[in-house]
Amino acid sequence: MIALKITNIRQMMHLMLDKNETAFDSFLLAMATFTTSAEMTIDGHFHPEFYSEEELAKLREDAAAAGRIFSMQMIRWSQVKSQCFDFIKGTRSPLSFLISLYLAEENVAKFLAGVDTTIPAEQIAGLSLNLKFDGTQLQCTSATSLNTFTMDRSVDVAWDRMVKKFFDKWEISYEEL
């Protein structure tokens, strides 16, 4: 796990919330809470019962066509970022927010391909980014969750490196804490 202080909050929020930006679109949303004059909480867990069988089939087809795994666990950040933007937009910054994102299943296997580890993809419960804004400072912490106990920290180390590489790719400036 690493903790990073985002030094250009405006740029980070632009990448996260602008409808034309895709940096975070493939991440899955576990939860998000935004506090402005009121508080909005989003539980990102997917509710298939909301959809008809035809709609679910279409969602599966769309995911397959895009080379993604259709997640029955969490929704993609891209599905809710416009609602989040609408809630916090204005002349004032939010009082606070917390966003918990997970690497999508199809990207876990890709990530592991470059990691020297004996841990298989099915043992990885989650690779996450947790973003916390306290009104003045935005911090990002990385975390890994496994379905088994192991002393092997190779996935942790590789995920921390990947988070920094991702931020560097998207020119998100940060300082390690």
Number of domains composing the chain: 1
- The domain containing residue 156 runs over which residues? 3-176
Instruction: Band the pLDDT of 119: cuts 50, 70, 90.
Output: confident
CB 18 within 8 A of CB 78: no
Q: Examine the pLDDT at 11 and tell me if it is beyond 90.
A: yes
Residue 130 confidence (pLDDT) = 98
Q: From its phi and psi, is residue 58 left (phi > 0), alpha (psi between -120 and 50) or beta?
A: alpha
Selection from 52, 51, 69 nearest residue 60 by Cα: 69
Per-residue model confidence as pLDDT tens digits over 150-165? 888 889 999 999 999 9
Residue 156 confidence (pLDDT) = 93
Instruction: Band the pLDDT of 68: cuts 50, 70, 90.
Output: confident
Q: What is the pTM of this model?
A: 0.89
